[in-house]
A and B are shown apart, each in its own frame.
Chain A
Amino acid sequence: MVLPSPPSAPDGAPPWWRDRRVVPWVVQAVVGLVVLFLIAFLLGNLVRNLTAAGLLLTWRWLSQPAGFDLAETIVPFDAGMPYWRGLLAGLANTLRAVVCGLVGATLLGTLAGMAAFSSNGLLRGLARIYVEVIRNIPLLLQLVFWYFVVFLALPNGAAALQLPGVVLAKSGLYLAGLAEGLRWQLPQLVNGVWQAPLRLSVEFAALLTGLIIYSGAFIAEVVRGGIAAVPKGQWEAAASLGLGWFTTLKQVVLPQALRVIVPGLNTQYISLAKNSSLAVAVGFSDLYSVAETTLNQTGRAVEVYLILLGAYLGLDLLISALMNGLNRLVQIRER
């Protein structure tokens, strides 16, 4: 039953600015108007300024020849090809760095996270130091350190650092692999130049090292938190069954820890994908660095920005979707 009441009633119905049916709508209307006004203001300026500069939105420049070359690509690209091929090559490079980084960082992070529960005090301490040191130093600083201090200081030719199947030289990282005719081939020195089936540039190697070591520290914390969330009784029960440290971890603890770990990994994977854009600092031609060159040549700031934004958002969504699928797999199904 609704009683009609005058707005100035002393008790009963409150005045309209305290009426719970009215206030939310007023608040929303004000916020909506402010947001709309702001967007209209910014877009209006954008259109006006772009028209004045003769840079109105167009995508025709994408098919003009790029005129710059990229040092290393996995999709074929040269200076005569159009801009869109260049951006595609950049995206492919970004994807390559992200995928390799994800695999490496997950391995390193899991090992370091597990080491935090080792029975060996020294190993525990080292894992702690690794995480504390790496997390408190900016990634960009670490990347330039790896590139300029470590990788560019490597010797060339016969003096290069040689491990079984791997050669580290200033000219690149050479890995053993399958050569033509499906035979296993080790890196070899031909006339003072290393030859191998697989060659990574030092730029890529520096980027990958930096990303893996930085993200590995964060993933180690995620893994450590996940393992710590498993009740202590589980360890003790496994130990009383006679399982060793590693078997306990692998068979009993990790499967339970995974459901805590996977959502945390999602965040870390996305930030690794975004952090790969710092490749520009070590001279690796990823999507961002190609986009920057493109902008400098064409002046098409808005279009280039939209491409960048779309690509990174798409990458994030892709990782999120994959990780959500994984999350559903590792959740404990009760009946």
Chain B
Amino acid sequence: MRAALRSFPTLLRVGFADAVAYRAEFLIWILSTNMPLVMLALWSAVAREHPIGGWGQGKFAAYFLAALVVRLLTGCWAVWTMNYELRQGTLSFRLLRPVHPLLHYLAENVAAIPMRGLFALPVAAASLWILGSGELASDPWSYAIFLAAVLGAFAINFVSMTIVGCLGFFVESSLAIFQVWFGVYLLLSGYLIPLDFFPGWLREASAVLPFRFMLSFPVEVLLGRVSGGAALAWLGYQWALVAAMLALLVITWRAGLRRYSAYGG
């Protein structure tokens, strides 16, 4: 455990150097996160003449730009790395190292966050400049909660990806499982549709499902739609989800590893 902690800063530095080295590729990844802008254009067209459900064009703009920033900050790709290494058998090398492979993946994905932030910053600045600060939360505490919520969103994102990655130990098509997970995420996280617009029962269900805490929740906090005690309570709920999913991850990892025998080995 202590050895792992000691190695973590070095792993982060390696990951960061990797992100800098492949900056062109990195930029393309960032550019392909353009869905919130498309949805922004669409919803603006819907609200062009008059507001819908209390949402005017300004509110839609603030929502989807904040969603873009959160998405940029919390993106991961661990499931593809895991799938690739499982298929190629290179996971064996990772297992031989003294650092836990999951920690390695974590470092790789965390190290990219500063680079992602670099791209998210202009988006945030531009939207603040265009929209003014009227749509943002006025309470300074909200910003502290926002940071914790973004971190929690990243954690859920990463852990869910690695859980699906571990399913690759059991079934061949773990990437197909991830596609289904991602599709549900698109609908229920508020990425395409603000959760307010769902009919009653679906809205209530989406409020407690993990997907909301991967995107919508930090956005809601940033825009001041959830604040004070309620925001803190939801934050606690988010981190409880993280803990529960982490436990699930440990279980699937252990069970999966027992079945693992490297391809061609």
Q: Do these two chains interact?
A: no
Residues in A lying within 8 Å of B, measured CB to CB: none
